Structure 1
């Protein structure tokens, strides 16, 4: 039995798993943000709740592991930022520990139990508050040792002009330290920023997508520019990776017409031609982080 965790800035979700088909959720707990001892104790409490000592722990976590130092970069949870979490947790809890980024775990879940089943190369794309991604090849994370493979949301990749007819789009500073990243426009907050630039007033992404589906001209213009901007870097990522399916997670993945429009635009811009959808909503609609962590843990590989 393995114990898997989905750890975010607000909550720690745990579950125990004997197979991908038998994942049993445990009580959700608040994430201690500034006290590492309390963070470890929360994980220990979940282990105790499971009622059985697991073979190992597998964590899906916000943040990225440096493949050389194994230190985690995690701004959302300051008490773990900069730590070698593998070492710290395995020493404190006395169990082998596996860790992967939450976007990587989403990709792993989709490859093993979702829309990516049967595909050799699966690019998981996150369109949530921001933009993220993970890459799975032959059932294994490319980021098995940590790193940034599949992170198509970062790098100054946005076009200066977009939409039909084209309109100038300013670049914005990104939280990663660069400027003009896909993340600054491609997620929900980015869509809201784009709408404000185009039309001079703020709307929530939920309102924008709803108005678009109802035929509102301003919302339609925002979505037109939005799709044009993000489809090009996503298409390039597909070309580079050779992915044959791109499951999408995050809040914007719930807007099926938006994902369908993105799919059409991406397929028009890639070298390989598909006569089926390529960019699709993720099939693991409930707790993909836990599913991905379970797959990671059940693989039995230490990383």
Structure 2
């Protein structure tokens, strides 16, 4: 049995798993963000609530493990930032612990139980508040020790002209310290920023995508340029990784018509010729962070 945890800045979701198709959610609890001792006690409380003591703890988290130092980089949960989290939790809980990025766990969930089932290379992407991604090869994470594989949202590669007719697009500054990253326009806040630049209107991303679905000219122009901007770097990622399926999660994935439009634009830009969808909606019904953490833990501990 594996204890799977999905740890975000606001809540910790928990589940226990005996098999990939036997994952039982246990509910959620508020994340202690600034007190590491309280963070550990919260995990001990979850362990105590399990039907029996697990073999290991597997964690999906809103952060990245530095592959050279092993330390966490996690702004949303300050009490774990900079820590050797897996080693410290292993000592505190008395169980083996593995930790992976939440976008990586999303990709792992889609590869194992979702849209990527049966595919050798799965590139799972998140279009939410921002942009993220994870790469799974033969049902295992490409970056098993941590690192940034799959993070297509951060590189200065956006075009500065897009749409038909073309319009100039500035390289907006990114939270990572660079400018022109996919993340600056690819997520919900990016759509709002792009719409403001193009139309001068301050509109919520949901209003923009609804307007697009309803034929609103300004919203339609924004979303056409949005698809043009992010399709090129996504196609590049597909060419580099050889992914045969790209499941999409996050709030933007639910925008009517977005995934088919993005799929068409990406397939027109890649080397491989496909007569089936490549960019598809995520299909994993259960929380993908929990599922990915469970699959990771089962692979590393239960079946090792």
- The interval holding the TM-score normalised by the smaller chain is over 0.9
2:257 matched to 1:257?
Answer: yes
- Which digits, 9 at most, give the CA deviation of each residue in 1:59-85, with x for residues without a partner? 000011011111010011111011110
State the 1:255 CA deviation.
2.1
Runs (4+) off by over 2 Å: 300-303
Q: Give the SS at the match of 1:122.
A: strand
- Which digits, 9 at most, give the CA deviation of each residue in 1:257-285, with x for residues without a partner? 10110000000000001100000000014
Tell me the residue number matched to 2:102: 102
State the 1:142 CA deviation.
0.4
Tell me the residue number matched to 1:23: 23
Tell me the residue number matched to 2:119: 119
State the alpha-carbon separation in 2 of the partners of residues 84 and 203 from structure 1.
42
Q: Give the SS at the match of 2:23.
A: strand
| Change in 2 beyond 3 A, CA 1:227/1:112 | same
State the alpha-carbon separation in 2 of the partners of residues 40 and 247 from structure 1.
33
Tell me the residue number matched to 1:92: 92
State the 1:27 CA deviation.
2.5
Tell me the residue number matched to 2:235: 235
State the 1:203 CA deviation.
1.1
Tell me the residue number matched to 1:179: 179
State the 1:184 CA deviation.
0.6
State the alpha-carbon separation in 2 of the partners of residues 131 and 27 from structure 1.
27
State the alpha-carbon separation in 2 of the partners of residues 18 and 272 from structure 1.
38
State the 1:204 CA deviation.
1.1
State the 1:249 CA deviation.
0.6
Q: Is the 8 A contact 1:123 1:150 kept in 2?
A: yes
Tell me the residue number matched to 2:73: 73
State the alpha-carbon separation in 2 of the partners of residues 256 and 95 from structure 1.
44
Tell me the residue number matched to 2:130: 130
State the alpha-carbon separation in 1 of the partners of residues 19 and 189 from structure 2.
36
State the 1:97 CA deviation.
0.3
TM-score (norm. length: structure 2): 0.98
Tell me the residue number matched to 1:274: 274
State the 1:256 CA deviation.
4.4
State the alpha-carbon separation in 1 of the partners of residues 4 and 256 from structure 2.
30
Query: How many pairs are equivalent?
Result: 303
- Which digits, 9 at most, give the CA deviation of each residue in 1:12-58, with x for residues without a partner? 00000111211111121011111011111111111111131100000
Q: Is the 8 A contact 1:246 1:278 kept in 2?
A: yes
State the 1:127 CA deviation.
0.3
TM-score (norm. length: structure 1): 0.98
Q: Is the 8 A contact 1:256 1:281 kept in 2?
A: no
Unaligned runs of 5+ in 2: none
State the 1:300 CA deviation.
2.5
Q: Is the 8 A contact 2:56 2:301 kept in 1?
A: no
2:218 matched to 1:218?
Answer: yes
Q: Is the 8 A contact 2:110 2:283 kept in 1?
A: yes
Two-structure CA RMSD over aligned residues (Å): 1.2
2:39 matched to 1:39?
Answer: yes
Tell me the residue number matched to 2:53: 53
Q: Give the SS at the match of 1:110.
A: helix
Q: Is the 8 A contact 2:64 2:147 kept in 1?
A: yes
Q: Give the SS at the match of 2:293.
A: helix
2:287 matched to 1:287?
Answer: yes
State the alpha-carbon separation in 1 of the partners of residues 54 and 76 from structure 2.
27
Q: Is the 8 A contact 2:134 2:150 kept in 1?
A: yes
State the alpha-carbon separation in 2 of the partners of residues 118 and 87 from structure 1.
34
Q: Is the 8 A contact 1:227 1:265 kept in 2?
A: yes
| Change in 2 beyond 3 A, CA 1:285/1:161 | farther
